[in-house]
Amino acid sequence: MSDKPQDNICPPDKIVFDADRGEYICTETGEVIEERIIDQGPEWRAFTPEEKEKRSRVGGPLNQTIHDRGLSTLIDWKDKDAIGRNLDPKRRLEVLRWRKWQIRARIQSSIDRNLAQAMNELERIGNLLGLPKSVKDEAALIYRKAVEKGLVRGRSIESVVAASIYASCRRIKIARTLDEIAQYTKANRKEVARCYRLLLRELNVEVPVSDPKDYVTRIGSLLGLSGATMKLAAEILEKAKNAGLTAGKDPAGLAAAAIYIAALMNDERRTQKEIAQVAGVTEVTVRNRYKELIQELKIEIQNQ
């Protein structure tokens, strides 16, 4: 037997997989390196997303906003059998009992009950604020960590949920103020703020500094301003940041003042009262930030 190395070894970057034949082939020599590979995919074919969804037999992905992450099963309320026929009254009562016990079995421990109540509250507040799914998922993860560390014990579930939502908004840079979130709970702003500080301290949640530019698009859209005006407002805020004018100031107030200046410059006039109401700040705040910006940045506004 020869000790010489084989010259016909195919380089790894030249090996391709033929899915139709189930073979690994060398593109340089045409050699079939391995054949009869087991197909790991489904045995059915689908040509549209609708067909794929209809034929798939697996469940949905994990959902953090459900207390059991969506792993448990549900008995439907349609009262029909597998073929689609209506159940007779006797069988319907039997299924009703199954459904009742199945719902009870889903929530057994005190932690399950806490999470079930909290996730319903999170969904309610999230829908009222119009938050995307990514924010709600992040808030649910933060709340679960708080439950695991025992931070919810002795505190209002609503307050901790609201604090988790605010932390999630800050992390994903969705512009929502603490006042906006607190108004949809029975707890006051002070209690939500206290829970928020607790989450940051105990869970080591990293939250970036709130940027006033994150508020521009939302405030501008609600006021019906053009894209050019919103872009100008963002540029004003960038100049203010570079000049060190944003440190220690309420980002919503700064964004409101920048939008007021940009609207005046582009002749899309809005009153300070209108902008203050949309931004969730007072007229005094808008007025003070407006004066600071035009003085420090030396902005000239014609025909005030």
Give residue 3's pLDDT band: very low, low, confident or very high (50, 70, 90). very low
Q: Quick one: average pLDDT of 191-200?
A: 92
Q: In the predicted model, is pLDDT for residue 77 greater than 80?
A: no
For residue 114, count other CB atoms closer than 10 A to its CB.
18
10 Å CB burial of residue 182 (0-12, 13-18, 19+) is: buried
pTM: 0.65
- Encode pLDDT of 4-55 as tens digits: 444 567 888 888 888 777 788 888 888 888 887 776 666 667 778 777 767 6
pLDDT at residue 275, rounded to an integer: 92
Q: Which residues does 77 contact at the CB level (< 8 Å), separation at least 6? A: 99
Nearest Cα to 122, choosing from 159, 74, 73? Answer: 159
CA 264 to chain centroid, in Å, comes to 34
Query: Is residue 213 within 8 Å of residue 236, measured between CB atoms?
Result: no
Q: Name the residue with tokens 């938050």.
A: 131
Domains along the chain with CATH numbers: 67-104 (no CATH), 109-201 (1.10.472.10), 210-295 (1.10.472.10)
The pLDDT > 90 percentage for the chain reads 27
| Tokens linked to 141 | 């993860």
Q: Which residues does 238 contact at the CB level (< 8 Å), separation at least 6? A: 213
